[in-house]
């Protein structure tokens, strides 16, 4: 599958919640948003 991995919905929700709460640094936020954009 060429490196494409689905992630559990709960993990995606937790990552998005973390972004909205400001838990992640700017660089982490960008990386997570890019990662989730395709999932």
Q: Which residue ranges make up each domain of the chain?
A: 1-39
pLDDT at 1 exceeding the cut of 60: no
More confident residue, 37 or 6: 37
User: CA-to-CA distance for 39 and 37, rounded, in angstroms?
Assistant: 6
- For residue 24, give the DSSP letter: S
The pTM score is: 0.72
Q: How far apart are CA 13 and CA 11, in angstroms?
A: 5
Find the helix packing angle between 26-37 and 9-20, rounded to 10°. 150
Q: Which residues contact 32 (CB under 8 A, 6 or more apart)?
A: 15, 18, 19, 24
């Amino acid at each position: 599958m060429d490196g494409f991995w689905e992630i559990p919905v709960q993990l995606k929700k937790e990552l998005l919640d973390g972004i909205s709460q400001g838990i992640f640094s700017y660089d982490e936020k960008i990386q997570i948003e890019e990662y989730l954009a395709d999932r």
